[in-house]
Structure 1
Amino acid sequence: MSHIPVFLKETVQILRPSPSKIFADFTFGLGGHAKSLLSCGGRVIGCDRDINAYKHARILEAQTQNFKAKHVRFSDLHDHLPSLDGILMDIGVSSVQIDQADRGFSFMRDGPLSMQMGINSFSAADIVNQWDENDIADTLYLYADEVRSRSIAKRIVEARQNKKITTTLELANIISRGKKGKIHPATKTFQALRIATNSELDELCIGLQIASSKLKIGGKLVVISFHSTEDKIIKNFFRNSRFLMKKPQPVFPSSEEVKSNVRSRSAKLRWGIKI
């Protein structure tokens, strides 16, 4: 299982771990960022809502006293954390989740229409099979700026009258029928359904507030995002909260990083110091 963490060097340079400091990685994943902070002497709490990521975190927890694992969503983090010197948030779906067909995140692989990151109350299949046509259309437009939201929602509702939509390729074929382009016609629909299924934007807003409340004065918050909607929320949070931003503009991946990890090309990093 391969995964290349983005902005690894930049994150360590910003947070500057040392034995006297304690950090939280709100999105542990496979632990690339957390392990780098540990290797520099820091103590780390690794959090993730994904049960598979949590299992990886438990393995690391058994190997060192400087690491603790937490299976938790952003919105439930407050009671799990002490005061912190630094926090990392790497927002969105991970490459590992996308690559696992049985998680249902990708329209390029056939699998159950789930899209659940973990600790969910419903799945993407519930949305497409149970939600009202207008609600589906609004979701596609709100979370992915899908200009075809009305026609796609109508196609989904028509298709489910004949057969319940249960797999990723079923949904992708319904959306893509007769449509071509440089970007796969199902791209924005899958993005919107994933965001809705996991309440990602609500979780992000709550997570940022919890991060602010748990950071010590002088503590640093690093947030990595991959979509403009997320970045807008993060930018507004830093502007309207008690954080000093050394650079008002986001950090972009270097050409070397994009070359070695093509999925990093859309990443942005913003960070600030609590004052």
Structure 2
Amino acid sequence: MNMTDPLHLASFLHNSAVQTALWIGALAAILNGSMGIFTVLRQHSFAGHALGDGSSAGGAVAIFLGSAALWGFLGMAWLAALAMGALGLRRARERDLATGVVLGATLGISALFLYLDVSSTQASGATVEVMFGSIFALDPQLLWPTIILVGVAIALIVLLYRPLLLIAANPDLGRAAGLPVRRLELLYLLLLGTAAALSALSIGVILATALLLGPAASALRLTRRPWQSFLYAQGIALTAVLGGIYLAFMSYYWSGGASWPVSFFVVLLILLLYLASAALASRRRAKH
């Protein structure tokens, strides 16, 4: 099968489900690329993982209640972020303990409602939808709420870029500079929860961390300038998500009518781009 067949490209570009997936996927990529930089700099990947996995409880509850999964993912991610902030923010050990407690609690809720989804509502695809995403099945009505969410999040990141970057590098310096570190920490966790929820909605909770951390880790290998790292991370995340959607759609034609998961292709592209960035960074060091 020729992947550049104009008939297939036309069907890809004009398919309404694909258009919704492209828009929401792109928005999730932009936010995750941005928040991933702060998360990697803070060495806070466990929190990102916990918020992504923890949001599964909200997705399971939303499916059980028959509402849009976005609000479930988002609501539980925000609750988990607030709980993590309340339980411990100051010391690394406190943060890890709080993160572990919240992760365990939310996974327990997720297991309960996924069981109820299957046993009570006969929603047999609920587990797959929550764990691996269903980006081609997203309701087009979710597009504008997602645009608003990401727009507000990016605006906050731009406005508070320097304070957020400072407390990511060294919270003690932030306190010495008179910054409201605790409030900024809570805001960071809420923004991280938003990014994790959108990632979980797009590619599933199991693989959500890859979209948050992979592009950021690649970008930080390529440049030492913070503002450039944000642009690189966003570009890498966009390439992985949009490329993954394209490959998943086209896999229908080369695999005999059974499309492969979007999440597989997104994570594969993130891995390949990370390896490419590592090789490029190594070549640069060798030249110097």
Which has the larger share of strand? 1
What is the TM-score when the length of structure 1 is the normalising length?
A: 0.26
Task: Give the structure, 1 or 2, with the largest relative contact order (CA under 8 Å, sep 6 or more).
Answer: 2
Structure with the larger helix share: 2
